[in-house]
Amino acid sequence: MSASLVLRRRLAGELRALRLKTGMSQEEVAAHLEVSSNKIVRIENAQSSVSISDLRQLLALFRVDAQTAEQLLDLGRNARKRGGWWSSYRDLLPGPYIQMEAEATLVRNYEPSKVPGLLQTADYARAVVLASIPAVPPEEVERRVAVRMKRQERLTTDKPLTLHALLDEAVLYRQAGGPKIMRCQLERLIEAAKLPNVSLRVLPYTAGLYPAAGNPFVILSFADSVDPDVVLCENRVGERYFHDADEVAGFHADFRQMTKVSLDEAASVTLIKKTITEMSV
């Protein structure tokens, strides 16, 4: 079974709610357990897993009834399990995104300048890696490409991931790896758009300026309503995640507004085909 960051987040939320119900501060909890307050902060932010012994102490401190305690202990045990296909790529993927994407049921992805990783061809992905990480060793390039190809398998499983992709029109013209690779990539977008679980829409230049223009982001949603949505914003200096409900709601509002001013799915495919034709002239 995979290491479940989603389950860790769920447990963290439960423990935070229990602490707040008691009226205790993080510092007071830390003092009772004789640990640093930073440890409690990291547990409640799902930045680190909680040991079963620490979890028992926390549940006792919060005076949780036996039935609830057993449920949370079970959740804690499952959250600590290791594994997952991404384990062999931990050196390349230190952040939590891949684990969360692997457990998400819906991904909303806005990209202003390049094709989303879930829809990239291997050659396009290779060109993106080489452009993003100068002087990267060839073997690392291939491992990074392999990760993106592995992620895409979720689009065609028995219970596929649902993807809503919004691409700025610039994505269709910004070549990666040359005309031949770009043509194959655009053809790949057309094929992906045929999948019932993929919605692909283009924000045309005629849409003008729109919310979040130029700032890519991903919204991850999960099957269980107790697992809140997460937003990832990524740039050169690293990844930034948003968990606060009000902040996440803002990204949802931007995505809805951008969807309204985008071309519909059929018109988006027509534009992609037109771009391919123009490349062939």
Predicted local distance difference test score (pLDDT) of residue 94: 67
Going by pLDDT thresholds of 50, 70 and 90, the confidence category of residue 4 is low
Average pLDDT for the chain: 90
Query: Nearest Cα to 166, choosing from 194, 198, 191?
Result: 198
Specify whether 129 is located in the same domain as 203: yes
Sheet arrangement for strand 198-203: 198-203, 162-168, 106-111, 217-221, 230-235, 238-242
Kindly provide the b/e burial profile for residues 206-225, where b requires at least 16 CB atoms within 10 angstroms of the residue's own CB: ebeebebeeebbbbbbbeee
Sign of CA dihedral 79, 80, 83, 87: positive
Model confidence pLDDT, tens digit, residues 92-102: 876 788 888 98
Model confidence pLDDT, tens digit, residues 124-159: 999 999 998 888 899 999 999 999 999 999 999 999
For residue 52, the domain's CATH number is: 1.10.260.40
Token digits of residue 37: 């307050």
Domain count, the chain: 2
Specify whether 96 is located in the same domain as 67: no
Specify whether 180 is located in the same domain as 275: yes
The stretch 249-272 carries a mean pLDDT of: 98
More confident residue, 81 or 204: 204
Please say whether the beta carbons of 155 and 196 come within 8 A: no
Model confidence pLDDT, tens digit, residues 11-30: 888 898 899 999 999 999 99
- Which residues have C-beta within 8 Å of that of residue 261, sequence separation ≥ 6? 203, 207, 210
Going by pLDDT thresholds of 50, 70 and 90, the confidence category of residue 281 is low
Q: Which domain holds residue 21?
A: 5-79
Token digits of residue 138: 């060839």
Please say whether the beta carbons of 126 and 145 come within 8 A: yes
DSSP 215-236: --EEEEE-SSTTS--EEEEEET
Specify whether 138 is located in the same domain as 251: yes
Specify whether 54 is located in the same domain as 176: no
Lowest mean pLDDT of 2-11, 65-74, 208-217, name the range.
Answer: 2-11
Question: Quick one: what percent of the chain has pLDDT higher than 70?
Answer: 97
Specify whether 133 is located in the same domain as 15: no
Predicted local distance difference test score (pLDDT) of residue 99: 82
Kind and range of the H or E run holding 40: helix 37-44
Specify whether 224 is located in the same domain as 149: yes
Please say whether the beta carbons of 55 and 75 come within 8 A: no
Cα gap 110→137, rounded to integer Å: 29
Predicted local distance difference test score (pLDDT) of residue 234: 85
Model confidence pLDDT, tens digit, residues 66-111: 999 998 888 888 777 665 777 778 778 767 888 889 889 999 999 9
Q: Rounded to a whole number, what is the distance in angstroms from the first to the last CA of the chain?
A: 51
Query: Which residue blocks in 168-210 are alpha helix, DSSP H?
Result: 170-173, 179-192
Specify whether 110 is located in the same domain as 67: no
Specify whether 144 is located in the same domain as 223: yes
Cα gap 183→188, rounded to integer Å: 9
Burial of residue 170 (number of CB atoms within 10 Å: 0-12, 13-18, 19+): middle
Model confidence pLDDT, tens digit, residues 43-60: 988 878 888 999 999 999
Is the pLDDT at 117 greater than 90? The verdict is yes
Going by pLDDT thresholds of 50, 70 and 90, the confidence category of residue 1 is very low
Predicted local distance difference test score (pLDDT) of residue 171: 97
Phi-psi region of 177 (alpha: psi -120 to 50; beta: other; left: phi over 0): left
Please state, in angstroms and as integers, the Cα–Cα distance from residue 240 to each residue in 3, 216, 231, following that order: 21, 12, 8
Is the pLDDT at 3 greater than 60? The verdict is no
Name the 3-class secondary structure at 113.
coil
Is the pLDDT at 173 greater than 80? The verdict is yes
Predicted local distance difference test score (pLDDT) of residue 8: 81
Cα gap 231→109, rounded to integer Å: 10
Specify whether 163 is located in the same domain as 266: yes
